[in-house]
Structure 1
Amino acid sequence: MEISRLAIVNERSVRLRRWRYGVNAFEGYVEEILQQLRLPFKSFDTLDEALAYKPDLLIAAICEENEENGRKLKLYAEEGGTVISYGGLNILARELGFYEEGLLGAGYAVLPQFSHPLRFLSAHPWSPSPNNNGSTNVVQTGLLHQEEPAGKESGPALLSIKVGRGTIERWSVNIAASVVSLQQGTGPVYDDGPEAQDGTIPTREGILKADDRCAMDWKYDRQTTETGMNYYAFPYADWWRDALIGHLVSVSVAKGKALPFLGYWPEGVPAVLAISHDSDLNVDDHAKATLQLLREIGIQTTWCMLEPGYSAPIYDQVKEDGHDLALHYNALEMDGGIWEEEAFRKQSLWLRRSAQIGRIPSNKNHYTCFEGWGELFRWCERYRIEADQTRGPSKKGNIGFLFGTCHPYFPISDFTEDNRFYDVLEIGFLSQDLNHPELYDATVAEPFLDTVQQNEGVAHFLFHQAHIHTHESVRQAVREVVNGAKKRGFALWTIAEINEWERSRRNVWIAGVDNDGHPVLEGAHLSFPTAVYIPVTDAEPSSDGTYETKFGVICQKYIVG
């Protein structure tokens, strides 16, 4: 079996020009999307370098829009290559029988493999030229709608254009940039975000938070439980990731070659449950009640500590019971905090000393305070904190998938840092203190767990020790969440365990397949048996082996590690 050679073009000349004028090159985030499943690829700074690699598939992520590049890409396709673009290649529109429509902002794409339209943040559709005459060399997939799911139709989501012996596969949606906006927000946080017109998301309170730049639409992207709880229901960033990878795998199979990938979790683990706590009031009795509940249930969790924290014996008990100790960075002015690096540094030093821990595995900001774009991630890097949990809801009306994902991911910087990837794993959370009388009831737990299972992600719930101590209803919600996760076969991990697993699997490369068709891995050794999926390129898979359908393609499954 032959593995596809996949090349990504991120032309440095284009990136340098954008950065000079304060423009982001988020199209390069396609690399992080592929890294999440360990798809083999090589990235190049120029189109000539990529073409010299002689790839089977070429993603023109960031490419000079000039006639010379257009000629080279078209020739590559004519000779049997496959070019993939996400909103680019506009230099070729007229030559291929199309014209450019206007740039679209937010909207929704209807795709056949999804039962709900996918929200996007930017798109650049093409329409057939008058002399195109409905060429049979073009296959259109999906449909874009402006602004709302049933809005004005704005052309196909994907054009597959036959060119000589190859194809040009052009998505109208800038998928990578949309994923970035969904996960990290529509821009830097410097003032309060807009409130929902129904009053359920009161963000204009003078506190800057992660959700002030939420890219979701409060009207179209939320659903309501039978008890009237509003929640963001759709992990659009994960769905776009699936659409992008599914398309790559499919076009590779159509060429008779496979693009293998690694499972998200150890074999037999469909998804992961994580529970974290924020110490806030720092009362020892609150911690004792939480420890008692966790012993009753038999799980380990992550404890985010706000200065001045608990007494030393509490830390000893937390560590003895196998729980994580994490930072709860305080930047909330009304609680004596401030947004600055020196405060972050001092608080991280305080936790190391007071809790007697050598390193801090993760951080979650108090009240989800957040400013700017990448400052928090830089601070985490500098003070050796490998994971962050800050991206979650601060209001009753915006719980759920408000950042479009249930997967751990590495965020991208803006143009001020040359759009580099931060070495900080973001693991957001879904809700706070289910069944608290002033918040939301536990009817959201089932749809959250179902969606996370369907998307093979992390269901991360936050419960404050203070509310666990005070409210039996909150304690019961913890039991319900844990029982629901166990019933579905979830692994119950701490944030530190998720971070360690994700980082270890990212050090594994799928180098190819041996003569018997088994995957050849290089790099780190996986700590748990894990599945490698190799798409089947034959018309009919053999009767030997284990097969699963992933991303709409039949794959042979091998257990490694």
Structure 2
Amino acid sequence: MKLARLGLLLDQSEAQRRWTYGLNVFANYTEEILAHAGIPFEIIRDIGEVENSSFDILIAGSVKDDAASTSVLWKYVEQGGVLISFAGLNALAAKLGCMWKERGTVGYAAFGAFYDKAEVIRFLQASPWKSSSAENEFLQEEAGELRRGEPGGAPIGAALQRFRIGEGLFDRWAVDIPATIVGFQQGNSPVLEDGVPALDGSAPINEGILKADDRSEMDWHHDRLYTETGNPYIAYPYADFWRELFIGRLLRTAVGQGLTLPFVGFWPDGIERVATISHDSDGNVEEYALATLAILDELQIQSTWCIIEPGYSTPIYDQIKAAGHELAFHYNALESDDRIWDQDDFDRQLLLLQQTAALDKVTSNKNHYTRFEGWGELFEWCEARGIESDQTRGPSKKGNVGFLFGTCHPYFPIAWSNDQNRLYDVLEIGFLTQDLDLSSHWSDSTIIVPFLEEISKVDGGVAHFLVHQTHIGMRETVRNSFRKIVAEARKRGYVFWRGKEINDWERARRSIKVTAVDDTNVSVEVGMPLPANAVIWAPMPESYAPLAGETIETRYGVICRKQLAAGAV
């Protein structure tokens, strides 16, 4: 099969026009969605380039929604191209026999057999169309039902429509998938004030401390479930569901055109699932550090230690390093500790850690108490000091543990419009929960299995649990819940990596570029050394008969042929 040439249109003039008015262009996040999926694509910055291009599939990300631009795209499709849009190109509605119904709707989408990992999926931005007649000559397919406001809300249109235009196809997602993913992962606005608490008292996030969870787009009623002991938790990684829906449809579309879009697997060959454990050294009691080292040795795992000022003594640091654990930063901006949200103080605290722990480089950070302000300031500070990964985005209360930010995937966040919606060079690895079986103010260990089972459904997720050294040292209940995390994860095939390993692997796998495909082989270029064998998956038609020795698996709902990247260079 031939390699599909995939283009992503991010028209720079349209983006500049929106930035002039302080508007975000979260269509730019489509680049991160594709890069994380390991799919080869090319970016177009000028819609004029479309007319002379030879793209098999074109994603209309940022593009002016007017007659001139849609005329260019219509011609592209008419001549045999495949066009994809996210809640855009409304200027084409009437021409395609449809009515544009509304803009910016929040609600839930039901897909039925089209996507079987969730009954309904929350969305944050949608702009549905409705066919003007039952005999629409262009409309070929509709999938999913959008419901306004809540899972049982009024239907407002299809989630996905496919139109035939001449020799080509136009797939229009009514949901703005990039903006919805960004909204879940980073919130729909900067953190400038307290968030809205849960009415049942389980998540009093309005305590006067600005934190990451002050901007979560989950619904306290519809997006939580309860364990058998009554522990509430945010149950669904909605952002990951939308990624899978989009990528799966994209791959099936390519195969339907007699083409293929090979992609890089999320983990090295032989690894299906990854878990990680981090600790925050609050209090820096060395007796508790030794207790943590002891249980890690017992469980035979290595972890990430986020160290808060003033830190430990040299002998403790030496033992942590000797055991192979990662020393990371725990930035403190808590006013009750006489610390402030400030880049200079961030730099000062980091330098102290590097000096006292004798570290040339610090890869990971997690903010104390999940303190967070604004939008991207933390990521800018990390970039400036060479910190490549952050773990701050997680829950601070019993009632919002789980998939609070809609994802269990590592991802690169996007900037606000004042920084032209660029991608930050900081990999975010959010966490699910803090210490379990600690007290009635925190969750018990009945949430472990639901988290691990849900992440097992989403290819490429990370099960990240935070366990403080203090509570490991003081409470047998916490030590036992830690043991249960590890045992239940291993039972389901998870391997334990440190935060740095996840960061290094994710950056390395993204340097692999698929360059060509022939009947038996995918050719790639590797931009940096890989820590282990990467896997390339080549989508194939349902009728594909594997050759002797080939491995075939279903990924994103598509039959794929497996190949090791090292064997393709």
**Same-fold call, TM cutoff 0.5:** yes
- How far, CA to CA, are the matches of 2:236 and 2:470 in structure 1? 30
- 1:119 corresponds to: 122
The residue identity in structure 2 corresponding to 1:542 is P
The residue identity in structure 1 corresponding to 2:28 is G
The residue identity in structure 2 corresponding to 1:465 is Q
Per-residue Cα deviation, 1:380-406 (whole angstroms, up to 9, x for no partner) = 000110000000000010000000111
Residues 122 and 238 in structure 2, CA contact (< 8 A), matched pair in contact too: yes
- 1:495 corresponds to: 499
The residue identity in structure 1 corresponding to 2:443 is Y
- 1:468 corresponds to: 472
- How far, CA to CA, are the matches of 2:144 and 2:265 in structure 1? 27
User: How far 1:553 sits from its partner (Å)?
Assistant: 1.1
Moved more, 535-544 or 496-505: 535-544
Moved more, 230-239 or 518-527: 518-527
Q: Tell me how large the CA RMSD over aligned residues is.
A: 1.3
Pair 1:62 & 2:62 matched: yes
Partner SS state of residue 201, structure 1: coil
Residues 8 and 50 in structure 1, CA contact (< 8 A), matched pair in contact too: no
Moved more, 172-181 or 137-146: 137-146
Pair 1:559 & 2:564 matched: yes
- How far, CA to CA, are the matches of 2:242 and 2:545 in structure 1? 28
User: How far 1:520 sits from its partner (Å)?
Assistant: 3.1
User: How far 1:169 sits from its partner (Å)?
Assistant: 0.5
- How far, CA to CA, are the matches of 1:518 and 1:211 in structure 2? 43
User: How far 1:479 sits from its partner (Å)?
Assistant: 0.7
> How many residue pairs align between the two structures?
560
- How far, CA to CA, are the matches of 1:316 and 1:176 in structure 2? 44
User: How far 1:116 sits from its partner (Å)?
Assistant: 2.0
Pair 1:168 & 2:163 matched: no
Residues 542 and 559 in structure 2, CA contact (< 8 A), matched pair in contact too: no
User: How far 1:143 sits from its partner (Å)?
Assistant: 0.7
Q: Mind listing any 5+ residue stretches in structure 1 that lack a counterpart?
A: none
- 1:277 corresponds, among 276, 279, 282, to 279
The residue identity in structure 1 corresponding to 2:564 is I
The residue identity in structure 2 corresponding to 1:556 is R
Map 1:225-236; keep pairs closer than 5 Å: 225-236=227-238
- 2:269 corresponds to: 267
User: How far 1:516 sits from its partner (Å)?
Assistant: 3.2
- 2:185 corresponds, among 168, 183, 186, to 183
- How far, CA to CA, are the matches of 2:278 and 2:476 in structure 1? 18
Per-residue Cα deviation, 1:120-162 (whole angstroms, up to 9, x for no partner) = 11000001124x6344742111110111111110100001001
Residues 43 and 50 in structure 1, CA contact (< 8 A), matched pair in contact too: no
Residues 519 and 558 in structure 1, CA contact (< 8 A), matched pair in contact too: no
Partner SS state of residue 309, structure 2: coil
- 2:332 corresponds to: 330
- How far, CA to CA, are the matches of 1:286 and 1:376 in structure 2? 29
Residues 519 and 532 in structure 1, CA contact (< 8 A), matched pair in contact too: no
- How far, CA to CA, are the matches of 1:51 and 1:194 in structure 2? 48
- 2:409 corresponds to: 407
Pair 1:448 & 2:451 matched: yes
Per-residue Cα deviation, 1:436-458 (whole angstroms, up to 9, x for no partner) = 12311101001111111221311
The residue identity in structure 1 corresponding to 2:464 is H
CA distance 1:522–1:466, change in 2 (3 Å):
closer
Partner SS state of residue 541, structure 1: coil
Per-residue Cα deviation, 1:174-202 (whole angstroms, up to 9, x for no partner) = 00000000011121000000011222110
- How far, CA to CA, are the matches of 1:382 and 1:77 in structure 2? 44
User: How far 1:106 sits from its partner (Å)?
Assistant: 1.7
- How far, CA to CA, are the matches of 1:515 and 1:235 in structure 2? 36
- 1:214 corresponds to: 216
- How far, CA to CA, are the matches of 1:223 and 1:541 in structure 2? 43
- How far, CA to CA, are the matches of 1:284 and 1:553 in structure 2? 51
- 1:396 corresponds to: 398
Moved more, 295-304 or 103-112: 103-112
Partner SS state of residue 432, structure 1: coil
Map 1:100-111; keep pairs closer than 5 Å: 100-111=100-111
Partner SS state of residue 156, structure 1: strand
Q: Percent identity?
A: 47
User: How far 1:526 sits from its partner (Å)?
Assistant: 2.6
The residue identity in structure 1 corresponding to 2:413 is P
Residues 341 and 379 in structure 1, CA contact (< 8 A), matched pair in contact too: yes
Partner SS state of residue 108, structure 1: strand
The residue identity in structure 2 corresponding to 1:344 is F
Residues 539 and 558 in structure 2, CA contact (< 8 A), matched pair in contact too: yes
- 2:24 corresponds to: 24
Residues 108 and 120 in structure 1, CA contact (< 8 A), matched pair in contact too: yes
- 1:152 corresponds to: 154
- How far, CA to CA, are the matches of 2:241 and 2:152 in structure 1? 19
- How far, CA to CA, are the matches of 1:389 and 1:216 in structure 2? 20
- 1:512 corresponds to: 516
Per-residue Cα deviation, 1:218-252 (whole angstroms, up to 9, x for no partner) = 11111100000100110001110001101110111
- 1:39 corresponds to: 39
- How far, CA to CA, are the matches of 1:547 and 1:55 in structure 2? 28
- How far, CA to CA, are the matches of 2:499 and 2:524 in structure 1? 30
Moved more, 132-141 or 239-248: 132-141
- How far, CA to CA, are the matches of 1:492 and 1:539 in structure 2? 37
The residue identity in structure 2 corresponding to 1:559 is L
Residues 512 and 521 in structure 1, CA contact (< 8 A), matched pair in contact too: no
Q: Mind listing any 5+ residue stretches in structure 2 that lack a counterpart?
A: none
CA distance 1:62–1:353, change in 2 (3 Å):
same
Residues 124 and 173 in structure 1, CA contact (< 8 A), matched pair in contact too: yes
Residues 511 and 522 in structure 1, CA contact (< 8 A), matched pair in contact too: no
- How far, CA to CA, are the matches of 2:279 and 2:173 in structure 1? 42
The residue identity in structure 2 corresponding to 1:391 is R
Partner SS state of residue 533, structure 1: strand
What is the TM-score normalised by the length of structure 1? 0.98
Partner SS state of residue 266, structure 1: coil
- 1:478 corresponds, among 464, 482, 492, to 482
Pair 1:540 & 2:537 matched: no
Residues 514 and 522 in structure 2, CA contact (< 8 A), matched pair in contact too: no
The residue identity in structure 1 corresponding to 2:43 is S
User: How far 1:469 sits from its partner (Å)?
Assistant: 0.6
Map 1:308-323; keep pairs closer than 5 Å: 308-323=310-325
What is the TM-score normalised by the length of structure 2? 0.96
- How far, CA to CA, are the matches of 2:51 and 2:396 in structure 1? 48
- How far, CA to CA, are the matches of 1:550 and 1:464 in structure 2? 36
- How far, CA to CA, are the matches of 2:506 and 2:345 in structure 1? 29
